[in-house]
Structure 1
Amino acid sequence: MPRISTSLNARLSARGVLRSEWVKLRSVRSTAWCYGVLIALMVAIGLLVSSLSFSNSGSESTTGDLARSIVVDVNTAGLKITVLIACVLGALIVTGEYSTGMIRSTFAAVPRRTGALIAKAVVLAVTTFVATAIGIWLSAFVSWPSLASQQIDVDLGSPSVFMPLIGGAVYTTMVALLAFGFGVILRSTAGTLAVVLGLILVAPVIIPMLGGMVDADWARTLSALMPQNAGGQLFAFSGDASIPQSDTEALKLDGWGGFGVLAAWDVIVLAAAIALAKWRDA
């Protein structure tokens, strides 16, 4: 009688689960289109913004912090739009499987479920970071001639420029993971996008209005802790005076502080998502 113990005792490997999630992600045609649109928008918006006149005088060159601030602002201008694409991707990578019932096969292959969800998150994070970084740096090189023609000194190697450009890719990735976590919790594309876009687009407008009406520091603190406002510090130029922060603001975040707050959002939501996925039926 043939022995089948080897096949029955075969163990799942992390590499195998990651590979399967990568295959699933790239086999969906809409994923490639979304990442392609993300990159194209970053480049197009960067080129459009760089064509504007930033110099006050055509005979004098712009250097120093002002020039570096312009370079950062130009090449991160598209993030406010492309982050919405990342939200859609983060939601669809899991809610699409819930809607088709494929999630049952995924959890049947990885019974403990945690490994499958972590693999999905890793694949989403890596692809989103790479796509966003490509878009930002393509924008930087494409916009370079336009800025140089306006006598704006472009120094992409400066840490005050390099770090915010990398931070923009980190911010987009972390928002995609936030959408992924809510997707696991809600198991609905529409519900996930409503919650995440509400946090990103609506809350940063409503909470400051509330704070202005009641003149309360807690409202301003809460506003600073919203994903959009905290994450925005990741790609803000360190000396950029255009970021509104009044003297009465209860909480002021720098880049690392914004990263910490956004990371806390991700950790809390993803931990809740994994706990619920293990507890309830698929």
Structure 2
Amino acid sequence: MTTHTLDSAPESRQARMPSAGSAGPLRFIGILRSEAIKLRSLRSTVWSYAVLVLVSVGLAVLLAATLASAPDEQLPAEAQTAVVMQVIVFPIGFAQLVAAVLGVLFIAGEYGTGMVRSTFTAVPRRLSVLWAKSVVLFAATFIVGLIATVGGYLASAPFLARSGIIAPLGDPDVVRAAVGGALYLALIAVFSLGIGTMVRNSAGGIAIVLGIILILPTVLQVIPTDWAANLVPYVISDAGLGALGLQSDVPGALEPWQQLLIVLGWVAASLAAGATLMKRRDA
């Protein structure tokens, strides 16, 4: 009797334990919730997203007001749509800097405070933390980016209408500009998250990301060689802004889907390098 009870105890405990397949998704959902709470609790998140929206809307209105002050000239429908797209996308070049800074701070700040040790103690599988951070940061930045692009469209529409420039929000090209702009901002944030994971330092990570986004294209342009000029379209910032479809008329320009693949390649490389170093190094 005793032998039977002792032998059956491990079996009963094993029966009560959830299988790895069923516990895995639930565990990852819990990590997602934890990272979402962290993102919301960061003071840098609030001001970063606020600045992103304000800069996007403000610059869209500024450009629209400038266009409205130009001499009246009736444009064909396609040209009007192109102008509206330009107004929506123009602020992205500045908003991407805010998204990049936030992406670095989301992980590097945790390393700086030492809080990452507690995170890895609770979640020994470190890569799950990185994937959860990526998902949360991407989703949050995409939503805020969409608010910024749509807000810029709505705020600038009255100014553009004064010059007879009208394109409905439901126009496929306008939707592509608004959604594409938000998507690019989200990808820049995740790319910067990977850089922050590699560097584990806020100042260093921000310097590297801004160097890649701002300085690298300029350096390549001033190098008096063909190979350097040919590399410019493959920089993440140039490819990302081009993926919105505003450079399709430039001779030799890549197709928007090709430029999107280039951006995704940068993001994948950043996350892969960050994941490799996160797994190998001590917290």
What TM-score comes out, normalization by structure 1 length?
0.88
Q: Is the 8 A contact 1:95 1:189 kept in 2?
A: yes
Query: In the alignment, which residue of structure 1 is the partner of 2:239?
Result: 230
Closer/same/farther in 2, CA of residues 182 and 151 from structure 1, 3 Å limit: same
Deviation at 1:84, TM superposition (A): 0.7
Query: In the alignment, which residue of structure 2 is the partner of 1:281?
Result: 282
Q: Which runs of 4+ in 1 moved over 6 A?
A: none
Deviation at 1:57, TM superposition (A): 4.8
For residues 190 and 27 of structure 1, the distance between their equivalents in structure 2, rounded to whole angstroms, comes to: 21
Amino acid at match of 1:230: A
The alignment partner of 1:152 has SS state of: coil
- Structure 2's unaligned 5+ residue stretches are 1-12
Amino acid at match of 2:45: T
For residues 53 and 115 of structure 1, the distance between their equivalents in structure 2, rounded to whole angstroms, comes to: 48
Q: Is the 8 A contact 2:68 2:159 kept in 1?
A: no
For residues 264 and 171 of structure 2, the distance between their equivalents in structure 1, rounded to whole angstroms, comes to: 26
Q: Is the 8 A contact 1:160 1:237 kept in 2?
A: no
Deviation at 1:55, TM superposition (A): 8.2
Query: In the alignment, which residue of structure 1 is the partner of 2:173?
Result: 160
Does residue 210 of structure 2 align to residue 209 of structure 1?
no
The alignment partner of 2:165 has SS state of: coil
Higher helix share: 2
Does residue 188 of structure 2 align to residue 179 of structure 1?
no
The alignment partner of 1:51 has SS state of: helix
Q: CA RMSD in A?
A: 2.1
Amino acid at match of 1:253: L
Query: In the alignment, which residue of structure 1 is the partner of 2:264?
Result: 263
Query: In the alignment, which residue of structure 1 is the partner of 2:95?
Result: 82
For residues 125 and 52 of structure 1, the distance between their equivalents in structure 2, rounded to whole angstroms, comes to: 33
Does residue 62 of structure 2 align to residue 53 of structure 1?
no
Alpha-carbon displacement from aligned partner over 1:189-229 (angstroms, at most 9, x marks no partner): 1111111111110111110111xx23x2x222211110111
Query: In the alignment, which residue of structure 2 is the partner of 1:116?
Result: 129
Question: Over alpha carbons, which structure has the higher Rg?
Answer: 2
Alpha-carbon displacement from aligned partner over 1:169-202 (angstroms, at most 9, x marks no partner): 1111111111100100010111111111111101
Query: In the alignment, which residue of structure 1 is the partner of 2:28?
Result: 14
For residues 236 and 256 of structure 1, the distance between their equivalents in structure 2, rounded to whole angstroms, comes to: 9
Amino acid at match of 2:35: E
For residues 223 and 263 of structure 1, the distance between their equivalents in structure 2, rounded to whole angstroms, comes to: 16
Alpha-carbon displacement from aligned partner over 1:118-141 (angstroms, at most 9, x marks no partner): 001111101111001101101101
Q: Is the 8 A contact 1:208 1:220 kept in 2?
A: yes
Q: 1:219 aligns with which of 228, 244, 247?
A: 228
The alignment partner of 2:67 has SS state of: coil
Q: 1:41 aligns with which of 55, 59, 78?
A: 55
For residues 98 and 71 of structure 2, the distance between their equivalents in structure 1, rounded to whole angstroms, comes to: 38
Amino acid at match of 2:272: A
Q: Is the 8 A contact 1:147 1:154 kept in 2?
A: no
Q: Is the 8 A contact 2:146 2:182 kept in 1?
A: yes
Does residue 115 of structure 2 align to residue 102 of structure 1?
yes
What TM-score comes out, normalization by structure 2 length?
0.87
Closer/same/farther in 2, CA of residues 77 and 132 from structure 1, 3 Å limit: same
- Structure 1's unaligned 5+ residue stretches are none
Q: Is the 8 A contact 1:225 1:261 kept in 2?
A: yes
Alpha-carbon displacement from aligned partner over 1:68-104 (angstroms, at most 9, x marks no partner): 1110111222111111110110000000000000011
Identity %: 36
For residues 127 and 50 of structure 1, the distance between their equivalents in structure 2, rounded to whole angstroms, comes to: 27
Q: 1:67 aligns with which of 80, 88, 101?
A: 80
